[in-house]
Amino acid sequence: MFTGLVTDVGEVVSIEPHGELNRVRITCGYPAETITLGASIACAGPCLTVVAISTGGNRTWFDVDVGAETLARTTAGTWRTGTRLNLERSLRIGDELGGHLVTGHIDAVAEIISVEAFDGMTRLAIQVPHNLARFIAEKGSVCLDGTSLTVNSVAGDVFSILLIPHTLAVTTWGERAAGDKINLEIDLMARYAARLAEADK
């Protein structure tokens, strides 16, 4: 489990295809000795498993295997050398839950349709697949590219979010533009509430 609070920005340094699987190497600022084999790290949203760890230069690197399902359903299939990724390590008992409960299981790829910068902040309008729009609620939570964000407004299949200067500075959001694709995870509580409502019908 995660909270959607980004703790580092990593960078893809290599991608090795192995059939329907990609072995991806990502550099990060985490101390190598604090990462264990088999650990879960959310990489731009998807929860991925660490399969190798070491250091190079003054940076730690870790490898993850990205399977066919993840490549097909997330932006991971578009990652290239130099792609920067929001990173978050999995929760430990006693950690502060500062965002919202995030699983790292991506529901769909959404698209940024407009970017408006003002007063050091940025407002984004984002379009989601029609079948997921009902899970997006004004003032509710959503996880985009691994970041816990609050929904400002909703109109049909489009919703808006507001990014403050701190978020823009410590994540990849300052690099985003209209037309970019992003990983979307809907709120866990909204998912179960909708399922219960369906079961009651």
Distance CA 142, CA 33 (A): 32
The per-residue pLDDT for 178 is 97
pLDDT in tens, 113-152: 999 999 999 999 999 999 999 999 999 999 999 999 999 9
The per-residue pLDDT for 199 is 67
pLDDT at 72 over 90: yes
Q: Which of 90, 112, 113, 82 is nearest to 183 (CA)?
A: 112
Report if pTM > 0.85. Answer: yes
pLDDT in tens, 4-63: 899 999 999 999 999 999 999 999 999 999 999 999 999 999 999 999 999 988 889 999
Per DSSP, the residues of 78-131 read G--TT-EEEEEEPP-TT----S--B-S---EEEEEEEEEEETTEEEEEEE--GG
- Arithmetic mean of pLDDT over the chain: 92
The per-residue pLDDT for 158 is 98
**Domains annotated on the chain, with CATH:** 8-89 (2.40.30.20), 108-200 (2.40.30.20)
